[in-house]
């Protein structure tokens, strides 16, 4: 393959809803560019993009695929992304490195939730957007309604560059407002017949072109002057204005395609090569140290790994974008995130599972390498000069759903954990961690579909049967008033026995509180608990009732009950303990005796100190169409939510609420059902709050039944 310079490179991401036709469009793009000589189809399971077994089974994309096309002496890197929100991490990582988003819209359905979600992420990344309205050949297609929805959802900067003459069955003709020509396609698509615009369409085309010219001129002051002087722009001037509009998101061109029959795709490619920005035409990004990356081939190398995949016969493949310097085969770089050295022994340009070996990759280009030792998605690799200077990482959303996971066969637990950790390497929106508190392996994902996909991959690719089950809720236990307890541990079984007696008082801890005056405090041990809050132990012993050497054992006993609270076995927090008296035996007293005495005294005092259970409360933000807001709020209130406020978010409403985590089970599924998939939400831990009395009673009863079963 030819070595392409930065200004000859275009990086695009195909985004939009499921079934919009992104994969079919990518297939046509590669066919038009001669990368493949035959177009595959989803039905025949032979597309270059959807090559994974799970994608063949589901007949839609679940992972982004990096492809390329060479067209008009330009190299177009294409990232085909999934359309379901459960796989939105793939969209986010693609938009991190793409310079233009091609938003594919299904003309049968108009603006769907997948397009709305993708739009939000293009806005966050300030990514230029071109709309490709697809499926115009379908009998239910409605271009005018689709255009109305595009403008309603995304604003008046949505601008026609083409419009169809005959939508529906038999669609084969579009009017191109840039060229002011009619493009007519044969039944099997391909190269069009380029004709003059017929008289019946001239007035409409001239009016729409005037709107296009004015929109293009608005993005450049010099062009505005030309426009005012001449009343029009040349094609070259128009393309310049469109490019400026794309870069500053002041213009979103609309094109017409029929990807299934390869109509309009060549013209779209031509537009991309002429008007989509090259990497060095976009605003330069900065490293965390403030260094500006300008795609200078003479600079030191900086590249960013935006995706990792595991491929059969290749192993781990790292996909990267070069931001400065020339990357050559066998180059030695430093991982800025962890300081390790990496050698890029082989360089590839990828097209799905196919790869082409290259010796050099220029700034702005996207490439791949294999078998990096200590480099993962979100890592920056630099020449030694810029060793620890990192590119800001991709901000992946937090999991929306959590489930406990275990192997069906107990002997597979270790293998399962390794497999799930590998899944996290490939998919950063999937999280797996062991909760010491809950004694569960917790899997987190973007929805039930996402977690079910992980299960499919583990069971079918790794051959490890696994199952999900509900996670426990990480409750906390604390007290509301003072209480005293005395406990004597005494055990005699021949020989040396065990004896320890502890007198204690406990009270709630609060920041800045003063110790009780009931007992003289001789020493204080403070433990900042891993799970939040504190345990304070005040030594109030006088007269040597308990030897100081037993105080660490008493603290150990207290900590055991703090880790396994008396009410439900949850972590306890925010308690002050006063050890004010006790007894020892000259022979039988030892550390274990005082540990057990302290543990049992604490348990007894705790239950008399107005104990309460605290539950985790999360800040939840739901972005929802206005007409569905009432239904969503009703559902939230049924989940014990406290609505904190509402505000406009573009054409949507944002509902802010505080919701107990215990009530968020299967919320992603419920929200999707209520809003027909048009809403999205995020959640973040906020605080712990006391559970209502009826909930506490139910939790205590459940825990008692659990203990009875274990006995």
Domains, the chain, with CATH or none: 6-192+252-281 (3.40.50.300), 292-386 (2.40.30.10), 401-469 (3.30.70.870), 477-610 (3.30.230.10), 613-694 (3.30.70.240)
Distance separating alpha carbons of residues 155 and 250, to the nearest angstrom:
10
Average pLDDT over residues 309-330: 92
Those residues with Cβ within 8 angstroms of residue 355's Cβ, 6 or more apart along the chain or in another chain:
314, 348, 349, 368
Does the pLDDT value for residue 493 go beyond 80? no
Res 406: pLDDT: 95
Does the pLDDT value for residue 102 go beyond 70? yes
Model confidence at 189, pLDDT cuts 50, 70, 90, reads: confident
Looking at residue 433, what DSSP letter applies?
E
Q: What is the pLDDT of residues 381-427, one digit of tens each?
A: 999 988 789 999 999 988 888 999 999 999 999 999 999 999 998 99
Res 436: pLDDT: 86
Among 598-602, 623-627, 650-654, the minimum mean pLDDT is found in 650-654
Res 87: pLDDT: 92
Q: What is the pLDDT of residues 439-492, one digit of tens each?
A: 899 999 998 899 999 999 999 989 999 999 999 999 999 999 999 999 999 987
Res 112: pLDDT: 85
Name which of 128, 16, 4, 11 is nearest 66 in CA terms: 11
Res 711: pLDDT: 60
Q: Which helix (H) or strand (E) holds 369?
A: strand 366-370
C-alpha 168, offset from chain centre: 37
Does the pLDDT value for residue 155 go beyond 80? yes
Q: What is the pLDDT of residues 245-270, one digit of tens each?
A: 999 999 999 999 999 999 999 999 99
Transcribe 645-678 into DSSP letters: EEEEETTEEEEEEEEEGGG-TTHHHHHHHHHTT-
Average pLDDT over residues 683-709: 90
Res 192: pLDDT: 94
Cα dihedral sign, 118-120-121-127: positive
- Could you tell me if 570 and 473 are in contact, meaning their C-beta atoms sit under 8 angstroms apart? no
Does the pLDDT value for residue 651 go beyond 80? no
Model confidence at 187, pLDDT cuts 50, 70, 90, reads: confident
Model confidence at 682, pLDDT cuts 50, 70, 90, reads: confident
- Could you tell me if 51 and 36 are in contact, meaning their C-beta atoms sit under 8 angstroms apart? no
Q: What pTM was estimated for this model as a whole?
A: 0.86
Does the pLDDT value for residue 80 go beyond 90? yes
More confident residue, 555 or 312: 555
Among 32-46, 120-134, 168-182, the minimum mean pLDDT is found in 32-46
Output the average pLDDT for the chain. 93
Does the pLDDT value for residue 63 go beyond 80? yes
Res 587: pLDDT: 86
Does the pLDDT value for residue 557 go beyond 70? yes
Cα dihedral sign, 22-26-29-31: negative
Q: What is the pLDDT of residues 20-32, one digit of tens each?
A: 999 999 999 999 9
Res 494: pLDDT: 66
More confident residue, 174 or 704: 174
Distance separating alpha carbons of residues 429 and 377, to the nearest angstrom:
11
Specify the pairing of strand 158-160 against strand 252-256: parallel
Q: Residue 569 has which token pair?
A: 């076995």
Res 58: pLDDT: 84
Distance separating alpha carbons of residues 647 and 703, to the nearest angstrom:
41
Does the pLDDT value for residue 327 go beyond 80? yes
Highest mean pLDDT among 59-68, 106-115, 159-168, 219-228: 159-168
Res 89: pLDDT: 94
Average pLDDT over residues 313-322: 91
Q: What percent of the chain has pLDDT over 90?
A: 78
């Amino acid at each position: 393959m030819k070595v392409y310079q930065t200004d000859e490179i275009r990086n695009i991401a195909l985004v939009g809803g499921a079934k919009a036709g992104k994969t079919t469009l990518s297939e046509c793009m590669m066919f038009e560019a001669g990368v493949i000589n035959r177009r595959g189809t989803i039905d025949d399971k032979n597309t270059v993009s959807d090559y994974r077994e799970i994608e063949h089974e589901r007949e839609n994309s679940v992972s982004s695929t990096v492809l390329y096309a060479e067209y008009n002496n330009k190299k177009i890197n294409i990232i085909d992304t999934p359309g379901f929100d459960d796989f939105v991490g793939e969209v986010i990582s693609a938009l991190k490195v793409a310079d233009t988003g091609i938003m594919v819209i299904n003309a049968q359905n108009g603006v769907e939730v997948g397009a709305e979600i993708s739009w939000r992420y293009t806005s966050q990344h300030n990514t230029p957007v071109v709309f490709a309205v697809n499926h115009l050949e379908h009998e239910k297609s409605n271009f005018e309604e689709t255009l109305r929805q595009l403008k309603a959802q995304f604003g008046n900067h949505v601008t026609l560059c083409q419009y169809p003459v005959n939508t529906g069955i038999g669609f084969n003709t579009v009017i191109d407002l840039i060229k002011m020509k009619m493009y007519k396609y044969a039944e099997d698509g391909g190269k069009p017949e380029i004709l003059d615009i017929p008289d019946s369409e001239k007035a409409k085309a001239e009016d729409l072109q005037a709107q296009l010219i004015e929109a293009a001129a608005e993005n450049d002051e010099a062009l505005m002057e030309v426009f005012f002087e001449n009343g029009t722009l040349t094609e070259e001037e128009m393309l310049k204005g469109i490019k400026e509009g794309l870069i500053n998101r002041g213009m979103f061109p609309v094109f017409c395609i029929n990807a299934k029959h390869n109509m309009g795709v060549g013209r779209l490619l031509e537009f991309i090569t002429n008007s989509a920005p090259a990497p060095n035409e976009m605003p330069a990004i900065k490293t965390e140290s403030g260094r500006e990356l300008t795609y200078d081939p003479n600079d030191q190398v900086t590249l960013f790994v935006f995706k990792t995949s595991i491929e059969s016969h290749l192993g781990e493949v790292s996909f990267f974008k070069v931001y400065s310097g020339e990357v050559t085969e066998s180059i030695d770089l430093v991982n800025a995130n962890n300081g390790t050295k990496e050698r890029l022994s082989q360089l590839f340009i990828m097209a799905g599972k196919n790869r082409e070996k290259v010796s050099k990759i220029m700034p702005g280009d996207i490439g791949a390498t294999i078998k990096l030792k200590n480099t993962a998605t979100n890592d920056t690799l630099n020449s030694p000069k810029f060793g620890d200077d990192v590119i800001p990482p991709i901000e992946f959303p937090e999991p929306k759903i959590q489930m406990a996971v275990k192997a069906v066969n107990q002997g597979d637990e270790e293998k399962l954990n390794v497999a799930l950790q590998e899944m996290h390497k490939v998919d950063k929106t999937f999280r797996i961690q062991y909760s010491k508190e809950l004694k569960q392996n917790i899997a987190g994902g973007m929805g039930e579909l996402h977690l079910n996909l992980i299960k499919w991959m583990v069971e079918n690719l790794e051959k490890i049967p696994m199952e999900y089950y509900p996670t426990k809720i990480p409750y906390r236990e604390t007290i509301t008033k003072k209480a005293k307890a005395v406990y004597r541990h005494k055990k005699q079984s021949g020989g040396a026995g065990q004896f320890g007696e502890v007198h204690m008082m406990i009270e709630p801890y609060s920041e800045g509180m003063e110790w009780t005056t009931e007992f003289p405090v001789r020493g204080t041990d403070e433990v900042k608990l891993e799970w939040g809050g504190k345990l304070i132990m005040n030594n109030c012993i006088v007269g040597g009732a308990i030897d100081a050497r037993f105080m660490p054992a008493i603290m150990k006993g207290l900590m055991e009950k703090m880790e396994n609270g008396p009410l439900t076995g949850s972590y306890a927090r925010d308690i002050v303990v006063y050890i004010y008296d006790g007894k020892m035996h000259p022979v039988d007293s030892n550390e274990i005796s005082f540990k057990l005495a302290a543990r049992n005294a604490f348990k007894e005092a705790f239950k008399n100190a107005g104990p309460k259970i605290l539950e985790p409360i999360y800040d939840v933000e739901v972005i929802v169409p206005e007409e569905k807001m009432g239904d969503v709020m009703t559902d939230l209130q049924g989940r014990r939510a406290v609505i904190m406020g509402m505000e406009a978010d573009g054409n949507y409403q944002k509902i802010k609420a505080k919701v107990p985590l215990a009530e968020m089970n299967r919320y992603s599924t419920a929200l999707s059902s209520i809003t027909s998939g048009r809403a999205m939400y995020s959640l973040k831990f906020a605080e712990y709050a006391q559970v209502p009395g009826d909930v506490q009673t139910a939790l205590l009863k459940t825990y008692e039944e659990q203990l009875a079963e274990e006995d």
